[in-house]
Chains A and B, each alone.
Chain A
Amino acid sequence: MNFTEDQPEVVVVRTGSANIASVAAALTRLGTVPHVTEDPKVVLAAPVVVLPGVGAFGAAVTHLRNRGLDEVIRERVRCDRPLLAICLGMQLLCESSEEHPGVAGLGIVPAHVGRFGRDQRVPQMGWNRSLPAATCVLLRPDWMYFAHSFRIETIKGEWNVATTEYGGTFVSAFERGALLACQFHPELSGSGGLALIGRWLSLAIGRKVVPC
């Protein structure tokens, strides 16, 4: 996958302290031009948006809300405009998290984020297999790199999910239309991760921008 011919721009949402250099480097390797912003107008209008994130759930939700980015991201998903959410970015789409009880997530996905069990080393740090359901279009079975202490156990409703084992099964990614959300870091998952971002970009960039 390579977009070097026309070098489309990919908007990357600044989610506070998130480290975005690796995301930007992966997008550059795929022949796109990453543009980092926290301007809600830009995020709403952009054809293709990545929502990365590391750090704490509560602080990240507050950051998005203070800038009006929560509404804009909800709007994008409602209109099926392309969005790739990574790690904490994926958790932010949920209703709530055990990391900060009482703080509402964006509520886009009917799911709760919980802590790993007591017997597991936390964070889960390293490579694990992500196995997608047959209904997935973008996700394929592959090794992916994880670095997280919280996870989603199940999602209610019609979502195409991939699962992973770590002291029980958890949701390692899900997709629907132009939304792809990953608990793992595709930007740090070598050639398999880069290929996944590439498949999402092909779908996203090929798509007509629907007015919301």
Chain B
Amino acid sequence: MLTRRIIPCLDVRDGRVVKGVRFQGLRDAGDPSELAARYEAEGADEITLLDISATPQERATATDTVARVRRVLGIPLTVGGGVRKVADVARLLDAGADKVGLNTAAVLRPELLSECAEQFGSQCVVVAIDAARSSADSFRWEVRVRSGAELTPINAIEWAKRAEAMGAGEVLLTSWDRDGTRNGYDLPLTGAVASAVRIPVIASGGAAKPEDLLAAFEAGADAVLAASIFHNREFTVADIKKFLSTNGVEVRI
């Protein structure tokens, strides 16, 4: 039976892992390859590396960081952040990514998903969606782009379906409202997207405790992404897997 996945996320800037609420007030959280290796040893199922570079120089460093992580990492590596064109995907795959996340560029030009799927296969094309609850309707979510700075009128569920049809092989679904709040994942959002598409869905944004991850799986997530609970050493991946297993979720132990 296919197991549910736990994916620690490394937000990387200028060669270092950083943490902060919505990229404000960033603090250093360690070396990317050291953290990646530690999480693999704890039982992480994959690693996601999100490049939050602010300058072209930092972006060049990020490619080196991917290569550095790849050298030590024996599990899948997804890389996202600032991916604009097919050549960016090729560069990250060459550096050692196994999957690449596309966000703003895919919203602006959805054909980018098809172009990447044709060239590299759907299994390495991840559509990253930042979804914010509509102020008018709590069961409607709108897509945010440019690291969340810009709101679009696009319905997040419709966008997930369209992205699947265009060739995305997985959805990385981040709740803009919950990200960094430690209030748990947005469960109605997770459930709505998971039942709208046939590709796997990764829930992201808001995890603070093992019960939050359990709830996301019960809502229909195939995988969950979390950062601060691991970086702060509140829980190890092994702790969380043990808790999930005790509560009937199939995990790789």
Chain A residues with CB under 8 Å of B77's CB are 22
Main secondary structure on A side of the interface with B: mixed
B2 contacts A21, CB within 8 Å? Answer: no
Whether A148 touches B123, Cβ cut-off 8 Å, given contacts A21-B70, A126-B5, A188-B75, is: yes
Least Cβ–Cβ distance between A89 and chain B, in angstroms: 13
Tell me the bound Cα distance from A122 to B222 in angstroms.
11
A125 contacts B123, CB within 8 Å? Answer: yes
The verdict on B121 contacting chain A, using a C-beta distance below 8 Å, is yes
The verdict on B103 contacting chain A, using a C-beta distance below 8 Å, is no
Tell me the bound Cα distance from A185 to B98 in angstroms.
11
Chain A residues with CB under 8 Å of B223's CB are 125-126
The verdict on A135 contacting chain B, using a C-beta distance below 8 Å, is no
Chain A residues with CB under 8 Å of B5's CB are 125-127
A123 contacts B93, CB within 8 Å? Answer: no
| CB closest chain-A residue, reference B43 | A190
A17 contacts B120, CB within 8 Å? Answer: yes
Whether A190 touches B40, Cβ cut-off 8 Å, given contacts A54-B124, A56-B118, is: yes
The verdict on A189 contacting chain B, using a C-beta distance below 8 Å, is yes
A125 contacts B169, CB within 8 Å? Answer: yes
The verdict on A191 contacting chain B, using a C-beta distance below 8 Å, is yes
A29 contacts B74, CB within 8 Å? Answer: yes
| CB closest chain-A residue, reference B1 | A165
Chain A residues with CB under 8 Å of B3's CB are 126-128, 143
Which of chain B's residues 100-156 have a Cβ closer than 8 Å to chain A? Answer: 118-124
Least Cβ–Cβ distance between A193 and chain B, in angstroms: 7
The verdict on A121 contacting chain B, using a C-beta distance below 8 Å, is yes
Least Cβ–Cβ distance between A167 and chain B, in angstroms: 9
Selected from B40, B76, B119, B123, the residue in CB contact (under 8 A) with A149 is B123
A-to-B contact residues, CB < 8 Å: 17, 19, 21-22, 25-26, 28-29, 54-56, 88, 121-129, 143, 145-149, 165-166, 185, 187-191, 193-194
Q: Which 8 A-B pairs have the closest CB atoms?
A: A55-B121, A21-B96, A147-B123, A127-B252, A19-B93, A54-B121, A125-B200, A123-B123
Q: Can you list 14 pairs linking A and B with CB atoms under 8 Å apart? A: A17-B119, A19-B93, A19-B94, A21-B67, A22-B70, A55-B119, A88-B121, A121-B199, A125-B222, A126-B5, A127-B252, A185-B76, A188-B98, A190-B74
